[in-house]
Chain A
Amino acid sequence: MTASVVRALRPTRARRDALAGRLSEVVGLYVLSILGALALSAVLVSATGGSWRSVLSALIDGSIRNPGRWGTTIGGAIPLLTIALGTIVNAKAGLVNIGQEGQLLLGGACAAIVAVHFDAPGALVFFALAAAGVAGGAVWAGLAAALRYWRDVPEVLTTLLLVAVASQVVAFGFSTERLLLAPLSEGQGTQVQQTLRVPEGARLPRITLFGNEFPIAAFAAVILAAVVAFILARTVWGFRLRMLGSNQRTATRAGVRPARYGITAMLISGGLAGLAGVFMLTGGDFGGYRFSPGFSINFGWTGLLVALVARERAGAAVVVAFVFACLWTGSGFLAATGVERRITDVVQASLVLALLIPPAVLFIRARRRAAALRRVRV
């Protein structure tokens, strides 16, 4: 026992010194990458005649500085985080789901149909529409999972292709009043492609904190993050899911059924995307409690990116979701600066790309060092 403890300690001390040096390298790389991405966007703004200072200031105003804004930002972060959590689950199972945009849209549509057509007391309507939303998203992702395990169809492709199909399904829903389309109201010239509002009783309560208002789903999303982290790290189910994700054959021999675990993971992933749709529909920060064809506003893609930037860690996803939500709320304030609001998409995507660089560079450097060591030894 003692011998092995001594053996275990000796290399650790040497490693700690190396780690201290390595840590500053890591932090430096991340700072450099993020600054690089921001600088690129700033150059773009300046080159087209805008002022990057006013853009930055507008973004901060819109996201946190102005009164009431960080409440709205939290409202935006809720669906992003929920989607990211689902993505983490399927990624841990070794599956690639890039169809959250479609799952979100369909989940929202299913929830909206129930909200509009189900006549019952408010709370009951909420639970019914939430169940419908989760089911809608889950079915859309489950379809891809089923095809993967029964027909060997790569789930990357099906989830991607089903995004396009989802928007057509929604378009079909808007072709009739029996599904989504709101009936023509008095004084309205043409029928707008949107649903009726969710009945008041079925909306999520909003709370006010320091003059900032946001739906209580914020707490639900954070609790969900903790639950997902706990399940993955500390339950036998999560342990086996991670096993499957890292080495399917080892997992199969050890008693993990790939189809059962994989399909479950995808159902959870799609279900959470659907739940994000429910939160958006009933939360109040999106489209005034109405569902419309453009409902998902690319949040499915953004939520996916949140999970990837957070490197599949639920805790980190909370922070990243908030940062990305800041860009979304901040972009609303850009109109005053005269700069096209699409610049925030550029900022977001270049941030994602920039954040991919540090881990890659570290990996390559580690390999270079090993190779250099080989040359020295010869």
Chain B
Amino acid sequence: MQARTFDAAGGTEKDPPAAVRMVGVTKRFGAVVACNRVDFSLQRGRIHGLLGENGAGKSTLMKILIGLVTPDAGEIYVHGERRIILDPVEAATLGLGMVHQHFSLVDALSVWENVALGEPGRLDPRAVRARVGEISDHFGLDIDPYATVGDLPAALQQRVEIIKCLRRDPSVLIFDEPTSVLTPEESWQLFDSLRRVVTDEGRAVALVSHKLDEVLQATDTATIMRQGAVVERLVTAETDAAELARAMVGRPVALRSDGALRAAPRSGQRPIEHDEPVLTIEAAAVRVGEQRELDGLDLEVFAGEIVGVAGVEGNGQSALVDVLSSLTRLHSGAVRVNGRAVPTGKSGAMAEAGIAVIPADRHDSGIVLQMTVAENLLLVHPEQVSAKGLLDPGMMSEHAQRLIDEYEIQCEGPDSPMWSLSGGNQQRVVLARELSSRPLALIAAQPTRGLDVGAIEYTTGQIRRAASNGVGVLLVSSELEEILDLSDRIVVLSQGRTAGAMARDDVDMERLGLLMGGHHA
């Protein structure tokens, strides 16, 4: 064991200094410690995996490295020199580049224009295009420099992002969950390119991931984090999935199939009543221009069960949630609640029919930042505290105080503005409002995205509780772990339709992967 761990400080003294060394980095969000005295280093010429479950602190650590998050304590050394990195621009000048989960591209501009964006000096379109060609040849990242970025699929947009990053010649490249928008096939292509970046040019690469397969296949060394702390440092070639999984979860884990990781096998199945589904989606189709966002989707959710919708992002998830939020009209097909058809695209109809929604982006369609907590708790059903169209302020703050206590929302009171709350507490407001309306079905879209560990636990707990109270839950998530953890039944969404379904207990990871990639299996 001792033999194959390596030193965080960057090996023996004869080695050149590590490309990046982080020492004793600590970051707290309220009561939660996202990073607890973390030591971390990256070596030139190596791909380094940063592995951990959701909320283990790995994203926070990388955000600290490129200046998006400021640490409470700790030191950062870049090529042996101590640096204070306050924003991404500073990080870029130090040679640190990051490819984010969400890209920083301008849709309306062409590929080469995006690549040229943010560089100093005269603009030389021909030279930029030539360089784009060179980079794409060299690393196997094929792309048309004249294409408009907004027209490209997610995988190609990621390529543009990578090329843009490489064009600045960074010595350190960080990839944050790069495969969440990719099919398994595209992922292997990406890792192939990464290998070339490292071996041909001697750069250091960090691959942030929660997927065991990826880390095993693509990395040289790996750091594993659990609950904000580093628990293990490994040389990938000398380890296996079982050991990684044990380190990541903190106890021996039974692997169901090739690379399938189970955090905690669910104990005890809830009884599922199979008389009539609470929520039915029939042959749903949504078109935006030429694009088919949903293309004949069929889905059923029964009372008391959690149905996980798995799939690579951009396969119709947002259209599905928008339809169930009354934000998009179905081109054809139907949505039924308890067998009764609900008009689609009619403001408030879905909420009226008993469909509660935790949106993927709260700020987009879940809360109103400029309004108070009390008002946000009443957005959907103000009639609870009003008579004849007049609001009763007394009842309003009473209602709010009750929910604030019940859901333990940390705020200065019912009248504090929503923007003054932390992300986790804003999510609690959404949960409180949606669950207190006694819904028949709950749509939870990426419910834990961007939350810290405590908030993740709370949110998943509430979702479980809702299901055990008889609510039919539809969990839409790009996190396979989350889906495996919570769902009774898994449906795979691919290109706007259901590619397949399976019960949680019969999950075959290989088949799941193929389905997500758009293959029929």
Contacts and interface: CB of A to CB of B under 8 A. Distances in A.
B70 A254 contact: no
A91 to B, nearest CB: 13
Interface stretch (A6-14, A167-175, A212-220): A6-14
B101 interface: no
B347 A236 contact: no
Interface stretch (B190-198, B369-377, B505-513): B369-377
Interface string A218-258: 00000000000000001111011011001101111111111
Contact of B404 (A4, A236, A374): A4
A375 interface: yes
* A contacts with B: majority SS: helix
Nearest to A233: B391
B382 interface: yes
Contacts of B350: 253
A243 B379 contact: yes
Given A8-B411, A234-B391, A236-B391, A257 B70 contact: no
Given A246-B368, A255-B352, A377-B72, A237 B389 contact: yes
A360 interface: no
B78 to A, nearest CB: 15
Contacts of A1: 405
Nearest to B404: A4
Q: Contact residue range for chain B?
A: 35 or more
Contacts of B86: 374-375, 378
A375 B357 CA distance: 39
Nearest to A374: B70
B347 A256 contact: yes
B168 to A, nearest CB: 24
A55 B326 CA distance: 60
B11 interface: no
A255 B380 contact: yes
Among A12, A15, A246, A378, the most chain B Cβ lie within 10 Å of the Cβ of A378
Among A8, A236, A253, the most chain B Cβ lie within 10 Å of the Cβ of A253
A247 B368 contact: yes
Contacts of A377: 70, 72
Contacts of B15: none
Nearest to A238: B391
B348 A256 contact: yes
A250 B380 CA distance: 9
Nearest to B359: A253
A104 to B, nearest CB: 30
B390 interface: yes
Contacts of B393: 234
B84 interface: yes
A250 B389 contact: no
Contact of A8 (B378, B379, B389, B413): B413
B348 A378 contact: no
Given A8-B413, A236-B391, A252 B347 contact: yes
A66 B371 CA distance: 46
Interface in B333-392: 347-352, 357, 359, 363-371, 375, 378-380, 382-383, 386, 389-391
Nearest to A375: B86
A251 B325 CA distance: 11
Among A237, A246, A256, the most chain B Cβ lie within 10 Å of the Cβ of A246
A258 B368 contact: no
Contacts of B366: 250
Given A7-B410, A240-B382, A378-B71, A254 B391 contact: no
A57 to B, nearest CB: 44
Contact of A250 (B71, B72, B365, B412): B365
Given A15-B412, A235-B391, A243-B368, 4 more contacts: A1-B405, A249-B364, A252-B348, A257-B347
Interface of A: 1, 4, 7-8, 11-12, 15, 234-237, 239-240, 242-243, 246-247, 249-258, 374-375, 377-378
17 contacts: A234-B393, A236-B382, A239-B375, A243-B368, A246-B368, A246-B369, A247-B363, A247-B368, A249-B327, A250-B364, A253-B326, A253-B327, A253-B357, A254-B351, A254-B379, A254-B380, A378-B86
Interface of B: 70-72, 84, 86, 325-327, 347-352, 357, 359, 363-371, 375, 378-380, 382-383, 386, 389-391, 393, 404-405, 408, 410-413
